[in-house]
Amino acid sequence: MSHLGARTAVSVLRRDLPLHSALLPAVDDVVAVEQPSEPLHALRPAAVVQASRAFVNGFDGDVLYAVKCNPDPSLLRAVWDGGVRHFDCASPNEVALVRGLFPRAAIHFMHPVKSRQAIREAWERFGVRDFVLDSASELAKILQETGNDVIPAPERGLGLVVRIALPKGEALLDLSGKFGAPLDEAAALLRAARPFAARLGVSFHVGSQCMDPTAWSRAMELAGAAIRASGMRVDIVDVGGGFPVAYPDLTPPPMGTYFAEIERSFESLGLPAGTRLWAEPGRALVAGGASVVVQVQMRRGTSLYINDGVYGSLSDAGALGFRYPVRRMRPQAPASDASLAAFSFFGPTCDSADVMHGPFLLPDDIEEGDWIEIGQLGAYGACLRTSFNGFDRTHTVEVRDPPLLQGVAPVAPATVAPELLAA
């Protein structure tokens, strides 16, 4: 099939613009024809367009897509098609990729620790104007490498965003401790940056897959405290990413709850009119945008040996224990009425850490040769693949199917796993 392309974990090949979704094949048909013995990545650009549009329409500020979550060009185009015009990049490669695809995009360099070369190239060659920092030495680096260190010249358009540290929170992936300036230091950085900045901002990141909307309002209060302590006018409050999606047995409150909490707490800071909100969603825009079809190579009891694993696109199913939606695919055989049973997966490498406990509910009669479609892998799936042990070959196809798990309904009642809400 002409729309299939092989590629390795690290190379990003440009493919043609996604066909109109209705013209794309269904994933079952692709599996029936191709009988893939290597992992098949089934991209759903329409789901990404939809999730991006919903976020852009619902969030009262600028939406920066966090590119690290999924840098696949066809999903980046889907994010753009959904109305996103700002991109949160963290490396020179991400900056170059986004600039190559979208000459008019606003690119924000949101890694608090950058090489001098990366800063210089981003500023001079790729037109990046906004940089995040959480230390005085990073501020000095940015000012020097963008030629803004001698005379303050805000008219050159430099945007500086100070990332504040957050206490340990309740995100599934807690990122406190690595980045962020403590309150006093953040205030000092805001004062030091103000004369050089066309735009001055405060940012935070509550961690990924954060189930509790009040994590944002608590972080907002800290941002407010840093701004007050600095005595400076601030133009931007950037609330970061971390917006959650549904996984089996994990249904976050509707996205509107998060937006309302952010807006309410932002209003209560009483900042001057014109202060803008930014958000940096990754997972929330792209999780439904890809599944991976794997093949069972052996069954041993309730363990399935499959051809993808924690060194491939199932990294978060390993140590982090993410459970993804699954369905068995058996294109040639009549439907079976076997009941569901709980299975764990072993990945293809020889490392005993290449195990995914799940449990994953699949038909009891699953056997060697069957395929399994694993959903919600548009976020932190393919981008985490390695070539360890030589298992780096996959195929990629765009399909018209909806995601295996539909996203969070905009107004559905909240059901949150209690252990995830406990502080």
- Interface ranges with ligand PLP (CB under 6 A): 66, 68-69, 88, 110, 205, 208, 240-243, 280-284
CB of 36 or CB of 241, closer to ligand PLP: 241
Contact in structure between 317 and 310 (CB atoms under 8 Å) = yes
Q: Among positive and negative, which fits the CA dihedral 396, 67, 94, 84? A: positive
Using DSSP, how many helices (H) and how many strands (E) does the chain show? Answer: 11, 19
Q: Where are the beta strands (DSSP E) in 211-348?
A: 236-238, 276-279, 290-300, 303-306, 326-329, 340-346
Q: How far apart are CA 66 and CA 62, in angstroms?
A: 13
Going by the DSSP 8-state scheme, the letter that residue 150 receives in this structure is S
Q: How far apart are CA 401 and CA 290, in angstroms?
A: 10
Q: Please confirm, yes or no, whether 210 is among the known catalytic residues.
A: no
Q: How far apart are CA 399 and CA 46, in angstroms?
A: 9
Contact in structure between 411 and 244 (CB atoms under 8 Å) = no
Q: What is the largest CA-CA distance in the chain?
A: 74
Question: To the nearest whole angstrom, how small is the minimum distance from the Cβ of residue 200 to ligand PLP?
Answer: 18
Identify the active-site residue in 69, 89, 210, 350.
350
CB of 289 or CB of 348, closer to ligand PLP: 289
Question: To the nearest whole angstrom, how small is the minimum distance from the Cβ of residue 422 to ligand PLP?
Answer: 20
CB of 134 or CB of 308, closer to ligand PLP: 134
Question: To the nearest whole angstrom, how small is the minimum distance from the Cβ of residue 91 to ligand PLP?
Answer: 12
Q: How far apart are CA 219 and CA 241, in angstroms?
A: 12
CB of 40 or CB of 405, closer to ligand PLP: 405
Q: Among candidates 320, 306, 317, which has minimal Cα distance to 349? A: 306
Q: How far apart are CA 294 and CA 373, in angstroms?
A: 6
Structure tokens at 215: 């994590």
Contact in structure between 294 and 37 (CB atoms under 8 Å) = no
Question: To the nearest whole angstrom, how small is the minimum distance from the Cβ of residue 51 to ligand PLP?
Answer: 12
C-alpha radius of gyration, the chain, whole number:
22
Going by their DSSP bridges, the two strands 130-133 and 106-109 should be labelled as parallel
CB of 83 or CB of 331, closer to ligand PLP: 83
Question: To the nearest whole angstrom, how small is the minimum distance from the Cβ of residue 109 to ligand PLP?
Answer: 11
> What residue type is 390 in one-letter code?
G
Q: How far apart are CA 417 and CA 421, in angstroms?
A: 7
Question: To the nearest whole angstrom, how small is the minimum distance from the Cβ of residue 282 to ligand PLP?
Answer: 3
Question: To the nearest whole angstrom, how small is the minimum distance from the Cβ of residue 302 to ligand PLP?
Answer: 31
Q: How far apart are CA 227 and CA 235, in angstroms?
A: 11
Q: How far apart are CA 387 and CA 121, in angstroms?
A: 29
Whose tokens are 């107004």? That residue is 411
Catalytic (active-site) positions: 350
